[in-house]
Structure 1
Amino acid sequence: MAAEGNASQLVGIVTLLGAAVVAVPLFKRIGLGSVLGYLAAGLAIGPYGLGLVTDAQTIIHVAELGVVMFLFVIGLEMNPLHLWNLRGQIFGLGSMQVGLCALLLTGVGMAFGFPWQVSFVSGAGFVLTSTAIVMQVLAERGDILAPRGQRIVSILLFEDLLIVPLLAVVAFLAPADAALAPSSSLWQRIGIAALSLGALVAAGLWLLNPMFRVLARAKAREVMTAAALLVVLGAALLMELGGLSMAMGAFVAGVLLSESTFRHQLEADIEPFRGLLLGLFFLGVGMALNLDVVARNWQLVTAGVVALMVAKALCIYVVARLTRSDHAEAVDRAILMAQGGEFAFVLFTEALKLQVMSPEVNASMTAIVVLSMAITPLVVVLHKRFRRADAVRLDGVEAPRDLQGNVLIIGFGRVGQIATQGPLAKGAQLSIIDNDPDVIRAAEPYGFKVYYGDGARADVLHAAGAHRARAIVVCVNDKDAATRIVENARRECPQVKLIVRAFDREHALELVRSDADHVVRETFESALQMGRQAVLALGATEDEADALTEQVRSRDAERFALETAGAAFAGRALVLGNIEYIEPPRHDKKPAAANPAAQGASEA
């Protein structure tokens, strides 16, 4: 019997993992993102899909630890001073958005004919944005530490702080004969919450670092991982006992350890658990979508999803604009935060226990929240695909006008800045263009006059003086743009020498076919130098290392010539010593393998 029970549990685990492994890569491949993949997989295998896994609520409850760990990692990125600097955003921006949205959504509920008490609880629950979805999207975009991301994180933190007050309000709204009314007073619950928070801060300040120092001396990696999990789960448990959000406890613990010498080790230990549990959370949300309730009340559920999401998005947009965010950021925030969140389930469950909500309303509101969470990743993808490109700020940036330099540099990033040094030492007159205003402004204090322009456009090349230049050095970090620049420059300025940065072998071949004069693969010379140093480390003399390096370079040019079909084209490639090639399919590779260093070049 025990073996059968274990096998049944194992089947459930395998089903969950298999659904994630199949759905997430598929959805990412078609551009819909990992969150939507998890939600779709959960819906497919859940009790209202194929019925392979039935206990969605238990999975969600366990997988909420993924959200907890996510907030711990975010906390590690914020030291206490940085968090203190965000206090205006947390309490100012957060309270403004939550307050106005709660009022507006309460009005929406009353417009649907519900009593004001039910409307307020429903609206307040929907105000609490899904931390899991928003954080996952911000992490995938790399926006968490950007200013726009920090404003969203501040609002989410304020919403987490509202759990205790909102639960207290639900208790206040309960009928007088509610059997499950809480026995403790509001002030008692606030005192317990404050005591829990104080205990966590004290432990973070005086206990955690000494504990990790002792464990580090033991040099037991698995114990360090166990300690990291202990800190996260212990902080979450302490906040849970105090009536606060588990995620808030993990975040505070992360902030307290943000300046610890062990923070990077902690982040590395937590990361695998965080990603897996967060994915499991999204699977659980997809499984929890009750299609029977949606089918029975489809008009109410559909209208509720649309009305609540639109109203919340409009309110968020207005608040963002009132707090001086630009239009693009306001729209992005409104779309990203327009859904309900996982804490709404907690609020609705408490309202059901205290008879503030009927079971039918609770089921409908839960379905509305789950649907809003499922729709959000799709709306984010559609917004990203169809939005207009953000306007480029060109303050203090000039466009090129009939420049006179005899060397034109296109792209002034890492490669372009170094490539200018040789011509400058020779006394050349440079003209430099770049299409990134931030790069242009950053170069000005160092005495470089860089003009704004897209080198892939023929008119910009003409304005930049390409027809007068003796050489054009293309240093852009974009394969397609580099190829277009070469094609346009060769058509407009046939006499100019084109020296182009190539991304890889295939790109180098493409550039030569576009009639570039000299192509330098961006990693080739640095890789040759690394190989030369390795040869020296093996005991070779300087002359032997130079000879082997030159042999690798020569064989590279020969293979590139073999790749090109046609004597004239091959003859051109032979002089391109810095080109990587695409090796032609040949059965006889003995010449290439005659020298180990040469063989390494064929694999580079």
Structure 2
Amino acid sequence: MPAGRAPQARRRRIRARHNAVALLRHPFPRWKLRLGRNRFMEWLIEALGRVDPMLATASIWLGASVAAVAVFKRLGLGSVLGYLAAGAAIGPSGLGLIAYTGEELHVAEFGVVLLLFVIGLELQPSRLWRMRSEILGLGLAQVLVTGAILALELEGIGFAHAGAILVGLALALSSTAFGVQILRERREMQSPYGRRAFSILLFQDMAVVPLLALAAFLAPTGDAGFNVADVALGVLAIAGLLIAGKVALPWFFRVLALWKANEAFTAGALLIVVNSALVMQAAGLSMALGAFLAGVMLAETEFRHQVETDIEPFRSLLLGLFFMAVGLSVDWGLAAQNLGTVLGGATALFATKALIIYALMRRRGSGWRDSLRAAALLGQAGEFAFVLLTIASESWLIGQADSALLTATVGVSMALTPAAVIGADRWIARRDRETGHDGVEPVVPLGPGRVIVAGFGRAGQIVARMLRMRGYDLTLIDNSPRRIRMAANFGDKVFFGDGARLDVLTMAGAADAKAIFLCINDREGARKAVERLRERFPDQLILAMSYDRFSAIEMRSAGADVVVREVLESAIDLAKRGLAAMGDNGDLEALDEEFRRRDEELMRLQTELGHAEGAKVMREKYELSRSG
């Protein structure tokens, strides 16, 4: 560097350090901060202007639902309240991120249509006939008595006669989501009170469609005249749907199953729901009625389980959207202003329903403990109350303000359920300690229990035959229509579906099964099934058939309790018969026992150390024993 430039560069460095120190010692001018903030806001507004409004709205809906549902599930309050809270938070009564136009509710009503389809799938005529005494004796009485008492109470506080009837019956329904989920978590679905509580919920599900028809009948906005042509059209539409469903639906899904068109299977299920809803709508009837009838027609087919599994994600998402739209539409400011009315109404509603259910259970012969547990479980109003309250409000059977207060009341009654169930258990336990009672109600023997056999190939058929001989109730799952039809001839509960899928196994009753036998001819699928079952149901007994030694090691590592190799038994039998045929008359049973012991030891080592290392340790051990 030239000599003249060195002092100049040095002066520049000194000046830069001086400016930096001065900047650190003195506060940054506020006008520059304001200018920077304004420029950032201008940039942000410009960037947001380039965003698709539909995607932005979808992001708000999904983000709110994920956050609220996760928090409410963590608190044990259920997803329904989470969706309601999410809708309230983003709506006009909350942060105002979404403006309510009414279209949201109409779009989301398809979730209700899918819910009715799934309810229809669960209402197998043969199952209903077996449970007819409990369903009619308890379920019908509970809905009618509770609905009548609540309607009288509502009419007494100023509701119109028609509105009081519909709202009273709507509030008489309990939450299937809360009730079934709590019973499954506590493993009490097969307990005496669990079976009776489920019977009540089952009748309530059946009552939904008549209540939808009642809402249309009571609505003052409907046509006053009796139109014979409309009635005839409705009857023809229902009859046509029932006939087409009975004849065409099994054939339709059988073709899709034979073609192995899994994606088309899901699309086909949605197509059936949409077309059934459209037929009913064209006939002037409820779309939900069409979906319900389609579900009932599929309930007795072997495809019921797979269809329900495929529909479930769409049903859950759209039903959640419906509950968010309800939360969006409610005037929560009005509910907050009348907080005492909401809390008092929810408490009175829960107490009234609980007392009626307790009395009906006692009248049907249940002990006081089971009656109290059922009353605490079913005292809340259910998710379909939101549907019927929305319809009542849109039909002018009740006012908007009343609808807002009742919606908030239903939500609070749901929130009371976990506390009521826990409180009932603690009170029963305290009474039992005071009286020295063991707290056990008389239990009706249930038999050996239900076992799931996933895969009805050669191995699965033999396993099923032996279990059947011992009196076990079987649930058989297979993705072959031919094998499913063959299995149905033995009177077992059969489902078409992929036995390696966790959602299929869960809907088949994996949570309550005595054991699960995996006889799947898919090495990777079987391993994943074992992993997912063990993660979801840590205490479940899992027995698996493996293709070879490698898959057996994998399934043991994944958590299977028992693993049997497909060719092991036949190969051992062949070797013993061959030795005998060659004149080797040694102790073949001792040989069999020794071979099995060594093979089991090798399997254990290979599971713990890896295939190659385990074999090496085993080989060294027996080489040492021979040399010794």
TM-score range, shorter chain: 0.5 to 0.7
Q: Does 1:339 align with 2:388?
A: no
Query: How much has 1:99 moved relative to structure 2?
Result: 3.1
Aligned AA (1:205): K
Query: How much has 1:596 moved relative to structure 2?
Result: 4.5
In 1, the alpha carbon distance for the partners of 2:293 and 2:308 equals 15
The correspondence of residues 6-85 of structure 1 with structure 2, limited to 5 A, is 7-55=52-100, 57-85=102-130
Of 367, 378, 397, the match for 2:404: 367
Aligned AA (1:345): L
Structure-1 residue corresponding to 2:206: 157
Structure-2 residue corresponding to 1:291: 332
Distance 1:131-1:27 versus aligned 2 partners, 3 A rule: closer
In 2, the alpha carbon distance for the partners of 1:351 and 1:167 equals 8
Larger relative helix fraction: 2
CA contact under 8 A between 1:94 and 1:154: conserved in structure 2?
yes
Distance 1:328-1:20 versus aligned 2 partners, 3 A rule: farther
In 2, the alpha carbon distance for the partners of 1:546 and 1:165 equals 70
Distance 1:101-1:79 versus aligned 2 partners, 3 A rule: closer
Aligned AA (2:86): A
Q: Does 1:220 align with 2:264?
A: no
Distance 1:269-1:28 versus aligned 2 partners, 3 A rule: same
CA contact under 8 A between 1:239 and 1:249: conserved in structure 2?
yes
Aligned residue pairs: how many?
432
Note the alpha carbon deviations across 1:77-99, whole angstroms, 9 max, x for none: 44322234555655664543333
Structure-2 residue corresponding to 1:392: 440
In 2, the alpha carbon distance for the partners of 1:26 and 1:348 equals 31
Distance 1:137-1:553 versus aligned 2 partners, 3 A rule: closer
Note the alpha carbon deviations across 1:550-588, whole angstroms, 9 max, x for none: 4675699xxxxxxxxxxxxxxxxxxxxxxx9xxxxxxxx
Aligned AA (1:338): Q
The correspondence of residues 551-566 of structure 1 with structure 2, limited to 5 A, is 553=604
Of 101, 108, 123, the match for 2:168: 123
Aligned AA (2:381): Q
Structure-1 residue corresponding to 2:418: 381
CA contact under 8 A between 2:276 and 2:291: conserved in structure 1?
yes
In 2, the alpha carbon distance for the partners of 1:64 and 1:223 equals 24
CA contact under 8 A between 2:277 and 2:286: conserved in structure 1?
yes
Structure-1 residue corresponding to 2:589: none
The correspondence of residues 544-555 of structure 1 with structure 2, limited to 5 A, is 550=601, 553=604
Aligned AA (1:289): V
- SS of residue paired to 2:299: coil
Q: Does 1:274 align with 2:315?
A: yes
Q: Any gaps of 5 or more consecutive residues in structure 2?
A: 1-47, 429-438, 451-470, 473-533, 539-554, 576-591, 619-628
Distance 1:15-1:555 versus aligned 2 partners, 3 A rule: same
In 2, the alpha carbon distance for the partners of 1:381 and 1:193 equals 43
In 2, the alpha carbon distance for the partners of 1:147 and 1:129 equals 15
Query: How much has 1:247 moved relative to structure 2?
Result: 4.2
Query: How much has 1:382 moved relative to structure 2?
Result: 0.9
Distance 1:156-1:554 versus aligned 2 partners, 3 A rule: closer
Aligned AA (2:255): V
Distance 1:593-1:169 versus aligned 2 partners, 3 A rule: closer
Distance 1:268-1:114 versus aligned 2 partners, 3 A rule: closer
Of 292, 301, 314, the match for 1:251: 292
In 1, the alpha carbon distance for the partners of 2:113 and 2:556 equals 41
In 2, the alpha carbon distance for the partners of 1:339 and 1:187 equals 37
Query: How much has 1:208 moved relative to structure 2?
Result: 1.0
In 2, the alpha carbon distance for the partners of 1:554 and 1:128 equals 57
Note the alpha carbon deviations across 1:287-324, whole angstroms, 9 max, x for none: 33321221444454444444444334433443444444
Aligned AA (1:281): F
**TM-score using structure 2 length:** 0.56
CA contact under 8 A between 2:335 and 2:408: conserved in structure 1?
no
In 2, the alpha carbon distance for the partners of 1:206 and 1:295 equals 53
Distance 1:529-1:393 versus aligned 2 partners, 3 A rule: closer
Query: How much has 1:229 moved relative to structure 2?
Result: 0.6
Structure-1 residue corresponding to 2:218: 169
Structure-2 residue corresponding to 1:516: none
Distance 1:17-1:224 versus aligned 2 partners, 3 A rule: same
RMSD: 4.8
Note the alpha carbon deviations across 1:412-450, whole angstroms, 9 max, x for none: 999xxxxxxxxxxxxxxxxxxxxxxxxxxx99xxxxxxx
Q: Any gaps of 5 or more consecutive residues in structure 1?
A: 172-179, 398-411, 415-441, 444-502, 508-521, 557-579, 581-591
Note the alpha carbon deviations across 1:149-193, whole angstroms, 9 max, x for none: 13321133124313223432344xxxxxxxx45154287766554
Of 238, 241, 245, the match for 1:200: 241
- SS of residue paired to 1:162: helix
Distance 1:256-1:366 versus aligned 2 partners, 3 A rule: same
- SS of residue paired to 1:338: coil
Q: Does 1:265 align with 2:306?
A: yes
**TM-score using structure 1 length:** 0.58
In 2, the alpha carbon distance for the partners of 1:5 and 1:150 equals 54
In 2, the alpha carbon distance for the partners of 1:168 and 1:334 equals 32
Aligned AA (1:185): F
Of 349, 358, 375, the match for 2:393: 349
CA contact under 8 A between 2:68 and 2:83: conserved in structure 1?
yes
Distance 1:78-1:113 versus aligned 2 partners, 3 A rule: closer
In 2, the alpha carbon distance for the partners of 1:97 and 1:525 equals 47
- SS of residue paired to 2:200: helix
Aligned AA (2:440): V
Aligned AA (1:367): A
Note the alpha carbon deviations across 1:198-252, whole angstroms, 9 max, x for none: 2221111111122223333444332221111112233334445556554444333
Note the alpha carbon deviations across 1:377-422, whole angstroms, 9 max, x for none: 322211232222773236799xxxxxxxxxxxxxx999xxxxxxxx
Structure-1 residue corresponding to 2:151: 106
Note the alpha carbon deviations across 1:26-60, whole angstroms, 9 max, x for none: 33334333333333333333332222333385444
Structure-2 residue corresponding to 1:315: 356
